[in-house]
Structure 1
Amino acid sequence: MTDATAVTPRAEEDKVLPAVVYGLYLLGFTNGLTFIVGLIVAYVNRDSAGPINESHYTFAIRSFWQAIAWFLIGGAVFLVGLPLSVVLIGIPLLVIGGLIMGAVSLWFVARCVMGIYYLTRGEAYPRPRTWLI
């Protein structure tokens, strides 16, 4: 027989701080600063979190660093194309760099939305160390 008053791991962990991290990440598109605040909150709370929240914090931290890396690559391509666009050779580089940065932004938003989805269901993120969504 099972005890009807037993608490499942889903009910034990507070979902507020991981939700705050995802919210700060999404808010970061308007001001930029809250990306860093969300990252700090995730790093500070990851070690003391339970298994569900720990997966969300790991997912959020990896999302931030992967987005930064790809955004810098796209920005570098864009910046290389900027002076070359004077002689029309750099226009494709401008387009490619802009597309990379746009795709990274969409990818980051999709990861945040998926994180919120799993968080509201009370589930750990299934693959927090993946670079895919």
Structure 2
Amino acid sequence: MTEAMPPEDNKGLSIRNLTHLLYGLFAIGLLSAGFFGIATIAAVVLAYIKRGDTAGTVYAAHFDWIIRTFWWGLLWLVLSGLAIFIFIGWLTGLIALVWIVYRLIKGWLALASGQPPVAEY
């Protein structure tokens, strides 16, 4: 029977750098207008995979923020795509994109200041 070795400190990306990477991948996918959309999907998959490692830290809120931004943004973009047939989809799609960019910037700025992103209602 082999013993499990405890993880070594400073091996691989820190959670802070990983969170910056997630925001960066999300931004690349968004700014490339879907050409590198796989980057956004990679950011969300990575956020789901590493989410457990962030429990109890300020970074947990960032991972949840990225995941929620993706799913809500996808929902609104799909609904906007369907609404194109009644000519309001262009407007709702633009609003959805502005909302996604806003949340991406707000979350990334909160990360830079060491704070969790806070949704304003």
TM-score, length-normalised on structure 2? 0.78
Matched with 2:60 is 54
1:45 Cα offset (Å): 1.1
Matched with 1:36 is 41
Q: Deviations over 1:25-78 (max 9, x none)?
A: 111021211110010111111111142110000010000000010111000111
Displaced runs of 4 or more, over 6 A:
none
Cα distance in structure 2, aligned partners of 1:113 and 1:124: 13
Q: Which residues in structure 2 correspond to 1:1-133 (within 5 Å)?
A: 14-29=15-30, 30=32, 31-49=36-54, 50-78=56-84, 81=85, 93-94=86-87, 96-127=88-119
Cα distance in structure 2, aligned partners of 1:42 and 1:16: 13
TM-score, length-normalised on structure 1? 0.72
Ranked by relative contact order (alpha carbons within 8 Å, sequence separation 6 or more), the top structure is 1
The higher radius of gyration belongs to 1
* Identical pairs, percent: 26
| Backbone CA RMSD of aligned residues | 1.6
Quick one: which amino acid aligns to residue 72 of structure 1? V
Matched with 1:5 is none
Structure 2 alignment gaps of length 5 or more:
1-13
Structure 1 alignment gaps of length 5 or more:
1-12, 82-92
Q: Quick check: 1:51–1:124 contact (8 Å CA) kept in 2?
A: no
Cα distance in structure 2, aligned partners of 1:125 and 1:51: 13
